[in-house]
Amino acid sequence: GSHFTASSWVDMLKAHGVTISMDGKGRTIDNVFIERFWRSLKYEYVFLHPVEDGVELKAGLKTYITWYNQCRPHSSLDDLTPDAVYAGGSMSNCAA
């Protein structure tokens, strides 16, 4: 939102050496990969698994992210997992 482009916010980030990452007007691919991850996280985990508290949420997110990287095939990676691509093509043994 616009609050992330306010000069006071941007100046504070710069003062602390933080690199700013935000889409520029007409630059639809700046954050496409992380935006897709957040969508997957919400639709594949958050919306399907309501939690009671932050402890349960933290544990569930850890489990989801491990599954996402080690077991979930990604069509953009020729149906390999991110871990398999990083390791040179070998898939982990994951339960269906």
Q: Is pLDDT above 80 for 67?
A: yes
Domain count, the chain: 2
Q: What angle do CA 89, 94, 96 make, to 5 degrees?
A: 125
74-85, pLDDT tens digit by residue? 999 999 999 999
Q: What whole-number percentage of the chain has pLDDT above 70?
A: 82
The mean pLDDT value for 11-18 works out to: 92
Residues 55 and 24 reside in one and the same domain: no
- Say yes or no: 6 and 36 in one domain: yes
Domain of residue 3 covers: 1-41
Q: Mean pLDDT in the chain?
A: 86
Question: Which residue blocks in the chain are alpha helix, DSSP H?
Answer: 7-15, 32-41, 54-70, 82-87
pLDDT at 65 over 80: yes
How many angstroms separate the most distant Cα atoms in the chain?
49
